[in-house]
Amino acid sequence: MASSTIPERVGSVSDFTGFVPTLLVNLVPLVGLVAFGWEPVTLVVIYAVELSVSILLTSLKAPFAQRRAPADREGVLDVAESELTEKRGRIELVDWLPPVYLRNIPFTTAVFGGFAMLSMFIGVGLASTLDTSGVTFWEVAVGAGSLSLGQLLETKRGYFDTRRYERVSPYSVVETPVREAFFFAFVLFSIPILGALGPGSGVAALGIVVIIKLLVDWSAFRATHSDDGGRLTQWLAGPDEVDRAVEPVDVPAGAPTARASTDRESVAWTGVLGVLFPEAPVYATSFGFLWLAFFAVVGGDNVSRTVVLASLVTVVVLYVLALAVSVGSHYLHYGPMEYRRYDERIVAYDTWLAEPQWSVPVGGFRDVELVDDRLPDRLLATRTFECTTGWGDDEAERYLGPVSNPESFTDEFALSVRTTDLDPMSRPIAATALLVATGLVAAPLVFLVGGASVGDTLTVGMWAALLLLIPYGLWSLAY
């Protein structure tokens, strides 16, 4: 599989004139501060809002990146492996936009979740440590609006007009903004500390923040428009971009002799149940600890009820979003799949993207086994098969199905399996697992109804979520 290192910033504007629009919009909040008497803390709020806006812009840019992400990703953003990262094909939304690549969705959701959580810490955290009573909506709207407009113009001119999306992967698109946000978030959180050093230190702290803000923006601009720069620019640019080419799928000419589509209802339920156990309990525990860590940062018992509710809603929304993304990724990967047999080759074809995903010679499925631990297969009379394809670097473990006609599927696509019948589940073990799971889910509700504090209820809920792995293990033994 060929790969080569290609400069991602070739042909882009790299001189200072390209940075002038960003510089001008950064001066708007300063004009408000000096000429119109805005409160100094307004500048901090404006910068915090701008970081939140960058969530949307970065998430919207990543789907258009044409290069595949490198296999080895070593950076600030941790993007877990997803079933979609190797997806072939693209979607044409409208004529005036580049095509969207489904394989980039995991990067979009990862940066959105990371930036949203960072925004919660910055926004609510600074509100708890700074006096924002003098901040007005229109001042923030004008200041943050001007900075956001600058980002929009730079996105259009530097990313779409120059067709930079053709030369970058989603990894490089999200890495620079993530590094910029984490760096500047650290600066924002240092303001209360610097402002407490003595009289006049608050103004000096804001001056330092403005200078650092311009420095970071300039370094980020050079990181995406030039191949040279200082250490900060090189750090913001991230690892070198690698063009990871993939070989085209071998599809024989002519019409297929057999077709078999996945059962979409079974695919959907498999995705939902696969996320509920074990991902949902693990995610719940992780988000719960994150929520507690947030209060440890912003002041614990002194936090207002509004801050508690706002942060709780944010955490719950991100939690549900994380689960929805997992379900959606599973469905987008398997839902539109159609298996096609030709005389000497079998092709997996995505009917939504109209793109072949992989192919093997007839008889190329090795170590074929019937998957027996999926409840939807039992309830909907579908079957899923696990197998190995390819050799060496091309070797891959694949799931075939779920299909609603397992007998004819195994015959037409040359799958060597002993039987397509599933062994019956152990009902006593399954009933025990359900009983234990019900008790664990009800435990935090019982504590809350019984008058326990929100903190105690949350602690019980986190432990209950973690202990749900026990009934999950019991349920697995029932198959």
Per-residue pLDDT, 190 = 67
User: pLDDT: is 53 or 473 the higher one?
Assistant: 473
Q: Quick check: 41 and 145 in contact, CB under 8 A? A: no
Q: pTM of this prediction? A: 0.75
- State which H helix or E strand residue 360 sits in: strand 355-361
DSSP state of 272: H
Q: What are the sequence ranges of the domains in the chain?
A: 3-244, 258-334, 427-477
Alpha carbons 323 and 280: distance in angstroms, whole number: 7
Q: Quick check: 356 and 365 in contact, CB under 8 A? A: no
Q: Quick check: 44 and 210 in contact, CB under 8 A? A: no
Provide, rounded to the nearest whole percent, the portion of the chain with pLDDT above 90.
Answer: 30
Residue 5, pLDDT above cutoff 50: no
DSSP state of 381: T
Mean pLDDT within 173-183 = 76
Per-residue pLDDT, 1 = 42
Helix residue ranges, H only, 156-263 = 170-189, 191-195, 201-225, 231-237
Per-residue pLDDT, 11 = 42
Alpha carbons 322 and 313: distance in angstroms, whole number: 14
Residue 32, pLDDT above cutoff 80: no
Per-residue pLDDT, 438 = 92
Residue 6, pLDDT above cutoff 60: no
* Inter-axis angle of helices 264-274 and 305-334, nearest 10: 140
Structure-block tokens of residue 342: 């030709």
Out of 102-106, 139-143, 214-218, 226-230, least confident range: 226-230
Mean pLDDT within 215-240 = 63
Alpha carbons 331 and 269: distance in angstroms, whole number: 9
DSSP state of 424: P
* Rounded (5°) CA angle 124-112-44: 35
Q: Would you put residue 324 in left (φ > 0), alpha (ψ -120 to 50) or beta?
A: alpha
Alpha carbons 167 and 230: distance in angstroms, whole number: 23
* Rounded (5°) CA angle 399-169-358: 25
- pLDDT tens track for 429-460: 999 999 999 999 898 888 878 877 766 777 78
Q: Would you put residue 102 in left (φ > 0), alpha (ψ -120 to 50) or beta?
A: alpha
User: pLDDT: is 216 or 347 the higher one?
Assistant: 347
Instruction: Report residue 449 CA to chain centroid gap.
Output: 35
Per-residue pLDDT, 111 = 74
- Phi first, then psi: what are they for 426, rounded to 5°? -85, 105
Of the candidates 243, 228, 80, which has an alpha carbon nearest to the alpha carbon of residue 172?
Answer: 243
List residues bridging with 258 in a β-sheet.
341
Across all residues in the chain, what is the average pLDDT? 79
CA torsion through residues 266, 268, 273, 279, sign: positive
Out of 126-130, 163-167, 321-325, 445-449, least confident range: 126-130
- pLDDT tens track for 277-301: 777 887 777 777 767 666 655 555 5
Whole-angstrom CA distances from 149 to 182, 283, 292 are 21, 35, 35
User: pLDDT: is 107 or 81 the higher one?
Assistant: 107
Alpha carbons 189 and 122: distance in angstroms, whole number: 8
Of the candidates 226, 207, 238, 183, which has an alpha carbon nearest to the alpha carbon of residue 51?
Answer: 183
Identify the band that residue 260 occupies on the pLDDT scale cut at 50, 70 and 90. Answer: very high
Per-residue pLDDT, 434 = 93
Per-residue pLDDT, 3 = 43
Q: Quick check: 425 and 479 in contact, CB under 8 A? A: yes
CA torsion through residues 69, 70, 72, 77, sign: negative
Residue 257, pLDDT above cutoff 70: yes
Alpha carbons 133 and 466: distance in angstroms, whole number: 41
Out of 194-203, 248-257, 314-323, least confident range: 194-203
Per-residue pLDDT, 194 = 56
Whole-angstrom CA distances from 429 to 61, 191, 394, 477 are 48, 57, 40, 7
Per-residue pLDDT, 238 = 58
Q: Quick check: 110 and 329 in contact, CB under 8 A? A: no
Q: What's the longest Cα–Cα distance across the chain?
A: 83
- Phi first, then psi: what are they for 260, rounded to 5°? -150, 120
Instruction: Report residue 80 CA to chain centroid gap.
Output: 8
List residues bridging with 370 in a β-sheet.
385
Identify the band that residue 130 occupies on the pLDDT scale cut at 50, 70 and 90. Answer: low
Q: Quick check: 277 and 468 in contact, CB under 8 A? A: yes
Structure-block tokens of residue 228: 């040279």
Whole-angstrom CA distances from 113 to 118, 172, 174 are 9, 17, 12
- pLDDT tens track for 363-417: 899 999 999 999 999 999 999 999 999 888 788 999 999 999 999 999 999 999 9
Identify the band that residue 13 occupies on the pLDDT scale cut at 50, 70 and 90. Answer: very low
Of the candidates 347, 366, 368, which has an alpha carbon nearest to the alpha carbon of residue 358?
Answer: 347
Instruction: Report residue 309 CA to chain centroid gap.
Output: 24
